[in-house]
Amino acid sequence: MSAAVVAVFVAQSQAADVRLPSLDDRKLTFVAIALPNCLRSTRGIVAAAVTKFSRPYCCYFNAVSSIRDGDRDVWEAVNAELSRHSVPIASTQPRHCRWNGSEQRMQLYYSGMTLMPFRTIAFPAYAAAATASPLMPDLALPVVVRSSATGDIAATCANDAALREAVSASLDREPDVIVEETTSAHNVMISALVCGGPPGGGAHVLPLVLGGTTNGAKGRAVASHAARVSEWCRKFFDTALEGKGLALLRFEVRGAGVGDDAAAGDLVVVDVNMAPPVFVRPRDAATSGTSAAVADLTWESLDIMEAMEEVSFADWAAEVVANCLRQFHPPTFKIGFDPKAKGYFVRAARSLRSGDVVFHDEGRAFPIVTKPFVDANWSKADQETFSRYAWPIDSAGHVYAIWENEPKTWRPINHSCHPNLAFAAPHSLNVIARRDIADNEDLTLDYATFCDLTMQPFDCFCGTPQCRGKIVPNDGVLKGYGGCAWHRGGVSR
């Protein structure tokens, strides 16, 4: 690595209870950003790095044991601030950290994993449940009651009476809760850290046995299930996390024996930490007063990495940084406003080279609607807006993409008859720079490359020598762009 790396987002309440390993040979520098005044702290650290290294730090890390509800807005603000300075943060994307407990389970399930037996219960079902029968007859006690919003454990219940009391208390605070069978001290627990690997090599999966040993029964259980753990983790990383960041998943081998049968048992996933800490270790609880809650399984599992032969902690950290830098896309555009002439517009957030992808739209979700539905159900005013801003998905003029209601996704890009952007060939949804573009330069597209007869003709004032004056759908213009146009069929009347 050619520049320093910063571990960030250390909660002020945790700062005294953690220490960072010495990795000076890897040129890693560690600083804490406390939650109060986090944006001011972030800006100060970025500025200090520029002063010291003539540029920002190359990468930032999460160093908090978990991202709680109260921290998520701050976490997103720190991410946004770092992104504004064109520096990446090596952790799961903030929107993934916003998945609630139920959404996390869906992601784990559709990644092919076997879930810990659970049920979700809402108030109507709870109120209708007969008191003479077990509340959860198909779950084996003891069970835990989890918040469906955060996934946090609200209570551990050994009998039906305790379960009913815990569910009732939780339903006073949220519409439904998750009741799940709990882990057993007699079963083998496996934790696995998954992150991006080298180009073309797939994700790194580091299986870790909680308890610090891989000998005997635990070792046989891990060896028996290592391939399945790796398979599940890689699919979760590639699909749920979209190949970015890192996550810590916890598994249990249920029913494993302690002798020759140790390799037997069923593998289930227990939970996932979407924002695991890195480079962080608990202090000695006996001397620092660290609570058991701080010295949790996450800390313990990361400690074990030092003893693993297949990859050293420092080498793993360097690979995570390299993968983060490979996948990071600094902002390419920003929104501007001109009250006297063009209103809102889009301009370059940095210098762009010819061929750079400016809008990454392949795989992006767009609201879509059919033209007959608009004609039959939308008001005249909405239909006029549709004719100005909708763009066709097909060449038959039937399915159209429209703007979302969320302003964060809007890109009010202006037209030019000689634009500096175009669709990538062959007929890609991605938009690229047609030439080198300076920082803060207006970004423009030729509307003829993506509009059809639905578009209202308008007068152009782009002022370029190529200006066509009245902008209407035009086969000749469309053919001139070749494969760098979205619409594929003929458009002229």
Distance, CA of 343 to chain centre: 32
Cα–Cα distance for residue pair 481/448, rounded to 1 Å: 10
Provide the pLDDT for residue 298: 34
Structure tokens at 347: 């301009």
Q: Which has the higher per-residue pLDDT, 247 or 421?
A: 421
pLDDT computed for residue 303 by the predictor? 38
**pLDDT of res. 355:** 93
Calculate the average pLDDT of the chain.
Answer: 76
Query: Which residue has better confidence, 213 or 184?
Result: 184
DSSP β-ladder status, 470-471 and 357-359: unpaired
CA distance 249 to 433: 40
Confidence of residue 261 (pLDDT cuts 50, 70, 90): low
- Separation CA 486–CA 468 (nearest Å): 20
Provide the strand spans (E) within 158-203: 176-181, 188-195
Beta strands in 43-162 (DSSP E): 59-62, 118-122, 143-147, 153-157
Q: Is the pLDDT of residue 131 over 90?
A: no
Give burial (CB, 10 Å; 0-12/13-18/19+) of 200.
exposed
Distance between CA atoms of 477 and 487, rounded to whole angstroms?
12
Mean pLDDT across 336-351: 88
At residue 59, the 3 state secondary structure works out as strand
Separation of CA 276 from chain center: 13
Residue with the bigger pLDDT between 54 and 251: it is: 251
Question: Given this model, what pLDDT does residue 386 score?
Answer: 87
Other Cβ atoms less than 10 A from the Cβ of 316: the count is 18
Q: What angle do CA 7, 11, 17 make, to 5 degrees?
A: 85
For residues 360-383, average pLDDT: 91
Distance CA 7, CA 28 (A): 9
Exposed / middle / buried, residue 315 (Cβ in 10 Å: 0-12, 13-18, 19+): exposed
| Separation CA 429–CA 451 (nearest Å) | 14
Tell how many helices (H) and how many strands (E) occur in the chain: 13, 24
Cα 490 from Cα 493, distance rounded (Å): 9
295 has pLDDT over 60: no
Nearest to 145 by CA among 168, 114, 113, 115: 168
**Antiparallel, parallel or unpaired: β 118-122 and 188-195:** unpaired
Q: How far does CA 481 lie from the centroid of its chain?
A: 35
Using alpha carbons only, give the angle 110, 114, 120 rounded to the nearest 5 degrees: 80
pLDDT of residue 406: 79
Peptide bond into 142 cis (omega under 30): yes
Structural domains of the chain sorted by starting position, each given as residue range(s) with its CATH number in brackets:
1-91+278-328 (3.40.50), 117-181 (3.30.1490.20), 333-480 (2.170.270.10)
Give the DSSP H or E segment for 303.
helix 297-304
Q: Which of 148-152, 285-289, 341-345, 462-466 has the highest mean pLDDT?
A: 462-466
Q: What is the pLDDT of residue 488?
A: 53
Task: Report the chain's terminal Cα–Cα distance, integer Å.
Answer: 58
- What residues contact 326, with CB distance under 8 A and at least 6 apart? 196, 199
Burial class (CB in 10 A: 0-12, 13-18, 19+), 478: buried
| Confidence band, pLDDT 50/70/90 cuts, at residue 26 | very low
Average pLDDT in the 133-144 region? 91
Residue linked to tokens 């690979």: 319
**Number of residues that make up the chain:** 493
Question: What's the whole-number mean pLDDT along residues 189-211?
Answer: 69
Q: What is the pLDDT of residues 422-467, one digit of tens each?
A: 999 888 889 999 999 999 999 999 988 888 777 778 888 888 999 9
Query: Can you tell me the distance from the alpha carbon of 34 to that of 39, in angstroms, rounded to the nearest whole number?
Result: 9
Examine the pLDDT at 23 and tell me if it is beyond 50.
no
C-alpha distances in Å from residue 431, one per residue of 282, 334, 337, 339? 47, 15, 22, 27
Range in 112-121, 140-149, 202-211, 260-269 the model is least confident about: 202-211
Task: Please tell me whether the overall predicted TM-score, pTM, comes out greater than 0.85 for this model.
Answer: no
